[in-house]
Each structure stands twice: as C-alpha cells, then as structure tokens.
Structure 1
Amino acid sequence: MFDLGSAAVMPRTLKRTETIRALPQSTEFSRALQMLGQRPMRLDRMQDMLVLRRKVWGLPVAMINRAELHKPARLLEILQEEGLRRTPVILSPERPVPELARLGALPLMTPASVGVVDIHPDRTLRRSGLEQKWRNRLSHAETQALRITRQNMPMVPDHWLLRADAAQQKRRRYRSWPTALTLAYGEANRGAAKLFEAHEGRETVAGILVLTHGDGATYHIAHSTDRGRGLSAHNLLIWNAMEWLASKGIRQLDLGVINTEDASGLARFKLGTGARLERLGGTWLYWPPMGRRLAPLASIDLNLMGA
C-alpha cells in the first residue's frame, strides 16, 4: 500500500455517500468462501462483520478486511469472547480509525485509496459525469466495429480472461484472488459475476469481469489486447457495465486501488469515469495478550494511518 501525499496525479476526494458493504464484507463473498470449504466467522453483534481465519507462517491469525469499525474497542472485546483471546488480529478497516492506535494495535501498512463510481439512475447524468478525455475515448469506441456481449462468467478455469489475469499477476509480481475463488463466487452467487467482452469480428479484444454484491459492485478483472486498446474497447466495456448496473439498481461501482505513483496511467483511466477517491484505513496488527501496552509505539505512525 502507499501514501498519496506525494502522488503525481491529484484526483478529487469527495465525502462518502450512504454506506454500501465492500466486497470482502459481503454475504456473496462469504458464500464463495464456504463453497471452497472455508468457514468464515460472522459477528452478529457487529452488524454481521466477516472475520477470516488463516495461517501465516504456520500461526493462526484472524483477518478483518474493509469492515466499518465504528466501535473498535467493542470489536476487540467480542473477538476475545468468541474464543480468539490469543489470536493475532489483522485489521484493514474501510476508513481511517485512529482509535486503533490507542487500543494498542500496531500499524503495518499505510492506507491505500480506492476509486468509487456512484451509478446515477439517469443516463444523461451518468454520461456527463465522465471526464472529457474519457468521454472522448468512449465516443471513439462507439464509432468502431465493436460488438459487446454480456454473460455470466463461464465456470471454466482456463477461460482466456482468467489466464490473462494470472499471467499479469506473475509478470507484475502481485497476488490477487486465486482462480478457484473467482469461479466459486460465480457458482455460489448465480448471476453476480458478469463478464463483458468486446469483439471485433471473430476476435475478442477486451474483457472485464464485474462482481455484484447487494447494492454495490466491484470491478474485479480486466484485460485488453493491443488492438483493443487502439479501439478504446476498455472504455466501452466500462460504460456498458455501468449501464447494466444502473438497470439492476446497483448504486456504486468499486474500481479497486488507485495507485497514482506506480500505475498513474491506470489511475487516470479509473478516475476518468468520474470516480471519487476514498482513503481506506491501512492495515493494523492487534495481539490481545499485549492489549494497550503497545499504544505508545503505535502512536508514532498515527499520522501516516490517516488520523
């Protein structure tokens, strides 16, 4: 993750609208995990917050990703009451929570930011919300001989988009969802994994996979060939996805992390959709046996964590 203080691209930041659960906290994500044989913990006393249990270097840990932490002290108490008294907890809240430092949680990674598009029900307003250059690329794509298709994600692990995504992860040395989890999401939530593809004649030149969850959606995987980039196919796919989401009553599209330092071109593309920038809460480590005794150490990096 990274700090946006010295970012080369300066996107606008707006206040958040009504809360929509992020994908890692959704019922749909929980179903996908269960299909793979995992048993995530649901905290009904914390608005059904999703807690994952993993092993890191052979040690059991609890992980809470992109949850709204309105009452972090109460959350830590409930985790202990649920039997996690000596289990390290990794917390990556949906927004900055400086109170975690006072509770003794140690900052591990500074906050990233994500781009979120509000899907306006009015088509004219949706289009006017696009930045001018982005809208010009969309108009260019609309004049090309491109055919857009939409379908549920095929349940085949060797699908071209999944292979392209795996190759990109290897090339750029990062890790995202495993293929099995993406397929499980589509299988456990029929109709919630939508594949949009752009075709020129018989050639598929670009594709995106969008995952819906409640009133929200997440831009999950995308790939474009050189020909697709020349035709601005990616712009047309995103626009078609936004049109379809609006027709289904979806109110927000999460475009994922906006990295203005290491991937400024992709950041500009995402922000060109009219997305607003939302800062997450970073990543923290809390170990119950130590409690508040680590608070003085945690406070050193408080400014970096969005306090």
Structure 2
Amino acid sequence: MFDFMPADVMPRPIQRSTPIRSLAQSQEFARALRSHGQEPLVLNQLNDTVVMRRRIMGCVDVAMVNRARIDKPLRLVELLQEQGLRRTPVILSPENPTPELFKTGAVPLMSPAQIARLDLTAPKEERRAALHQKWRNRLKHAESQALRVTRQNMPLDPAHWLLQAEAIQQGQRGYRNWPQDLTLAFVRENPGKAKLFQAFEGKEVVAAVLILCHGTCASYHISHTTDRGRALSAHNLLMWNAMSWLAAKDYVELDLGLINTEDAAGLARFKLGTGAKLHELGGTWGYWPPMGRLLRPLAALDRGLMTPRKTGQV
C-alpha cells in the first residue's frame, strides 16, 4: 500500500531534542527482537540501553550491548550484575571510542570499525551540493532516464523479491545481514517504519532500497540493483529520493552502515558519495564478571588498540 498523503495533511514533526540513537539501541529494534522470540534487557537507569541476550554454540549464554553510548562503563557493569548477569560473558560494542572500558577489566577483541553517517538537517540545495561529483553525475544520468520511483511500506511477505535477492546476494558475496525473520518482525511490529523505495523501467523493477526508521533517525538496511538498474544509475536515484523524503519528514540522520574499503570498496565509495561522514565506532570488547579484576592489567596493555584514530579517505 502506497503511503502518499494529500498536500494539506502534514506529518507531525519529529522533535529534534530527542537523542540520536542507533538502530540497535532503538525501541523499534527492541520490539522486533521480542516478536522474533528474543527478550532484550532494557536498562532504564542508563538511558534505556538495549542489551541483547543470545546463546552461542548452543550452550553459552552471552549478553551483547551493541552500538550504545557507554558514558559510564562502571555503572553499566553494576547494572548488568544487578540484573542477574554476574556470571554471563558480555560483548560490548560502543557507539563511540570508549577506552575507559579497560577500567572494568574488559578486554579488546576487535579494533574499531567505521560507519557512514549522513546529516539530513541541511537544506536540499546544500545536500545536493555536498554530493561527490561522480555521484552527482550518476544521479543526473538517472534523472534523465525513463525511471519511475515508488515508495511504500515494506510488504509483510517472506517471498518478496528484495528479500529473496538479498539472501542470494549474501551467499554470493559471503556477508551476513539480519535474518529474514527479524526484518519481517521489524516490519510487523513497527507499522510505517520500514520504507521500500523501488525504481521501475516500464513495468520492470530494476532497483530497490529498504530504509528502517527509528526515533529521529533512519538506517539503510538492504538494497539490490539489477544489471539494467546499474546501467541506468537507478541506485543513486533511489538513494536521493530516500534522503529527500527522510529530510522532509524531519529525520535528522541516515546511518549508511559499515565502511569496508577492502572487501567492498565500491559500496564504500557509493555511501560516502552521498556526502556522508565517517564515524569511528568503539570496537568490540569482552567482559566476564568473574575475571574482571584479574584481566584489568591485560586490558590496560591493549588500550592503544581502542584509542580513537584519524579518519582516512576512501
């Protein structure tokens, strides 16, 4: 069902005073997890931090704090223990570099990755001017073609062509995204928050992008472009339409996800070509309460691994 609305019916503006939160730390994601059979722990005392709980290798229970701002590492550890996780291994992946985690005895497991974040608050003319030249040229090329762009709420259909294409693409390229059931749970539990943008040449769909909206932000979730769509630069046109629609609805930021210049340099250039900026995450840390104090000296030795670095160019 298409969600076009009369010009005289304006959506309620999103309050910009609401904190910017990643998808993994949103109420929308927590609802999807519950519907998917998981029961996340939400720490109300710590800005509603979402803690996922999973069993790995079929026998080990772990807690995961993903893409959260961890401004008070010691308080986070205390709260996890108060919630009955005294002997549960915890995987911490902060939204920002948080070398202070070493004080808890957390041990670095993986150095910080980078994501692309696009500011949507600038006027449309400034956002277009911020596009990289090659990206803007491809957009102009797409706009000169006979492409039709549609926007609708993502259908709750496991057989939808985009979901099937994404599954095949994951297998071919060797990466992992959300389980299909979790994507459908997000669609089901958050009506109107999963937006599907598609480009058609005549009656043939040549590209699609699925955007998940959460709080004041949105996240680029999955996409697919056919060979014909690539020839027509359809992906650029869809992204520009998605960016413009989100900005018009007062969303303040679009999270374009991880930047991988080694295995997906083309996709990295595409994301940064939108005018998005690199943002360094806080790496991945492991914390096991019974060993916290004993591991503290080892964690201190690894502080340099998790220290903020200068952002590079792609």
What's 1:26 paired with? Answer: 26
Moved more, 231-240 or 261-270: 261-270
Q: Deviations over 1:33-79 (max 9, x none)?
A: 11123211110110110011111121111111000000001100111
What's 1:226 paired with? Answer: 227
Question: Structure 2-normalised TM-score?
Answer: 0.90
What's 1:12 paired with? Answer: none
What's 1:269 paired with? Answer: 270
> Aligned-pair distance for 1:150?
0.5
What's 1:3 paired with? Answer: none
State how far apart, in whole Å, the 1-side matches of 2:133 and 2:272 are: 11
Contact 2:67-2:93 at 8 Å conserved across structures: yes
How many corresponding residue pairs? 291
Letter in 1 for 2:265: S
Moved more, 192-201 or 262-271: 262-271
> Aligned-pair distance for 1:112?
0.8
What's 1:299 paired with? Answer: 300
> Aligned-pair distance for 1:102?
2.6
The correspondence of residues 1-307 of structure 1 with structure 2, limited to 5 A, is: 20-57=20-57, 58-307=59-308
State how far apart, in whole Å, the 1-side matches of 2:202 and 2:92 are: 47
Letter in 1 for 2:150: T
Contact 2:77-2:104 at 8 Å conserved across structures: no
Letter in 2 for 1:46: L
State how far apart, in whole Å, the 2-side matches of 1:218 and 1:292 are: 38
Moved more, 293-302 or 255-264: 293-302
Moved more, 275-284 or 259-268: 259-268
State how far apart, in whole Å, the 1-side matches of 2:246 and 2:47 are: 26
Letter in 1 for 2:85: L
Question: Structure 1-normalised TM-score?
Answer: 0.92
Contact 2:33-2:185 at 8 Å conserved across structures: yes
> Aligned-pair distance for 1:19?
5.0
State how far apart, in whole Å, the 2-side matches of 1:155 and 1:262 are: 32
> Aligned-pair distance for 1:191?
0.5
Contact 2:211-2:218 at 8 Å conserved across structures: yes
Runs of 4+ residues over 3 Å off in structure 1: none
Letter in 1 for 2:83: E
Contact 2:33-2:39 at 8 Å conserved across structures: yes
Letter in 1 for 2:217: G
State how far apart, in whole Å, the 2-side matches of 1:70 and 1:225 are: 43
State how far apart, in whole Å, the 1-side matches of 2:300 and 2:162 are: 44
Q: Deviations over 1:222-244 (max 9, x none)?
A: 11011101100000000000111
> Aligned-pair distance for 1:22?
0.1
State how far apart, in whole Å, the 1-side matches of 2:293 and 2:125 are: 52
Does the residue aligned with 1:249 lie in a helix, a strand or coil? Answer: coil
> Aligned-pair distance for 1:127?
0.8
Contact 2:108-2:302 at 8 Å conserved across structures: yes
What's 1:13 paired with? Answer: none
> Aligned-pair distance for 1:121?
4.8
What's 1:9 paired with? Answer: none
* Residues 1:121 and 1:191: Cα distance change in structure 2 (over 3 Å): farther
State how far apart, in whole Å, the 2-side matches of 1:120 and 1:140 are: 26
Does the residue aligned with 2:50 lie in a helix, a strand or coil? Answer: strand
Q: Deviations over 1:122-165 (max 9, x none)?
A: 21111111111111110110000100010000111011110111
> Aligned-pair distance for 1:265?
1.1
State how far apart, in whole Å, the 1-side matches of 2:302 and 2:239 are: 38
Contact 2:118-2:253 at 8 Å conserved across structures: yes
After superposition, the CA RMSD in angstroms is 1.4
